[in-house]
Structure 1
Amino acid sequence: MPVVPETKATWTNGVDPLNSTNLHAYVRDPIRFLMHKPSAVLRQSTAQSLTSATWVPLTMGTEDLDDDPDGIGGHSTVSNTSRYTARYPGWYWLGGGVTVTANANGTRGCRWAVNGTPVNGGSVVLPATSSGGTRVPARAHLVFLFEGDYVELQGTQSSGGSLNTIINGEEQASMCIAWDRLAA
């Protein structure tokens, strides 16, 4: 089980040894963790159909970054590609967005979900545009994840029919996740 190194040690002169075990545990390991904080930058590489009036987890087929201290990462491009799974407990920053093809009817939206449950205060819904796609930025959000919890960016639209996400360049759906801190 991955562990976030903690530095709650106190040192007593003449009592606590200054040895490699203590230096690794209380100096090297926390610095190594902070220099390699769990983080991911994910993008949608295949257009996805969004059924009207349904929240759908957005698939992310491209990883620009997916790393953590032990080099495994929290995202898979093979299974459950909509998910980033926390391998380390703590508070994580979330950011991202989605663009849905042009259609003048209804609204377009995105929201954050943890383990499939919408995050309070984590959604954005905008009116549709008739030309170009409707770009919907996700709220920057700080969420607590236990080891094994997963976060998804979900999209929706209410045109009355199915619409696709746009995957061209800067309009691609994307999801950014970064570990920020331990629980207080």
Structure 2
Amino acid sequence: MTNLPVPVPASEVPGGSVASSLWNSQVRDGLGFLLADPLFVGTQTTSQNVLTSTWTPINLNTEQFDTYGGHDNTTNNSRYTAQVAGYYAVCGVVCFATNSTGVRAARIHVNGAVVQGTSQMFPTLPSNTSGVATPLRTLYLNVGDYVEVAGWNNSGLASPGLATGVAPDLSSALYVAWAHA
């Protein structure tokens, strides 16, 4: 049972009998939704370039979880699109390849616009792949709204820019979990 709507509590009168359709839609489906609500974790397994001083949505070509089909690995693969309206817990991480110049940053976008208070910036580590995580935020998403993690750097590298880092234990990712209606 996937892609169930957020349940609406049934209203019954005392002494009335509960029809199977009411039981299924109000009890079974409600419990099913709460036991399998929308969850998405996407990661990047193929490096991409992030131009200097340009916020760039991060491509997520691998799904660890996508319980409601809000992500496509091919079309607009930087996005998770809400299939159910509600409040979602959202955070992301952007990993960058080794480079000793400048600052690295990550932030969350909804429908292409920055979400205030989700940016993090850190100086680079000269000899290691570095990851910058956004803070965990609760965001309201309507059906069709999309969320992305975006990366930024000021390494000064000319086009094609600084590559994202991909390693077995560290890669860019986006986490989106439905919290409540």
> TM over 0.5, yes or no?
yes
Q: How does 1:82-121 map to 2 (within 5 A)?
A: 82-121=78-117
Q: Is residue 95–residue 172 contact of structure 2 (8 Å, CA) maintained in 1?
A: yes
Q: Which residue of 2 aligns with 1:12?
A: 13
Q: Which residue of 2 aligns with 1:165?
A: 164
**Sequence identity (%):** 33
Q: Is residue 95–residue 140 contact of structure 1 (8 Å, CA) maintained in 2?
A: yes
Distance 1:167 1:7 in 2: 43
Instruction: Read off the aligned partner of 2:171 and give its amino acid letter.
Output: Q
Distance 1:32 1:9 in 2: 15
Instruction: Read off the aligned partner of 1:176 and give its amino acid letter.
Output: Y
Q: How does 1:50-69 map to 2 (within 5 A)?
A: 50-68=50-68
Distance 1:94 1:62 in 2: 17
Aligned length: 176
Instruction: Read off the aligned partner of 2:5 and give its amino acid letter.
Output: V
1:146 aligns with 2:145: no
Deviation at 1:30, TM superposition (A): 0.7
Deviation at 1:3, TM superposition (A): 6.0
Distance 2:93 2:128 in 1: 16
Deviation at 1:9, TM superposition (A): 2.8
Q: Which residue of 2 aligns with 1:181?
A: 180
Distance 2:156 2:180 in 1: 42
Q: Is residue 98–residue 171 contact of structure 1 (8 Å, CA) maintained in 2?
A: no
Q: Cα deviations across residues 78-121 of structure 1 (Å, max 9, x unaligned)?
A: 10000000111001111231211122221101000000000011
Q: Is residue 38–residue 177 contact of structure 2 (8 Å, CA) maintained in 1?
A: yes
Q: Which residue of 2 aligns with 1:39?
A: 39
Q: Give unmatched runs, 5+ long, in structure 2.
A: none
Greater alpha carbon shift after TM alignment, 130-139 vs 143-152: 130-139
* Partner secondary structure for residue 33 of structure 1: helix
- Residues 89/3 of structure 1: CA separation in 2 closer, same or farther (3 Å cut): farther
What TM-score does the superposition give when structure 1 sets the normalisation length?
A: 0.91
Q: Give unmatched runs, 5+ long, in structure 1.
A: none
Q: Cα deviations across residues 26-72 of structure 1 (Å, max 9, x unaligned)?
A: 2111111111111111110110101110000000001111112xxxx
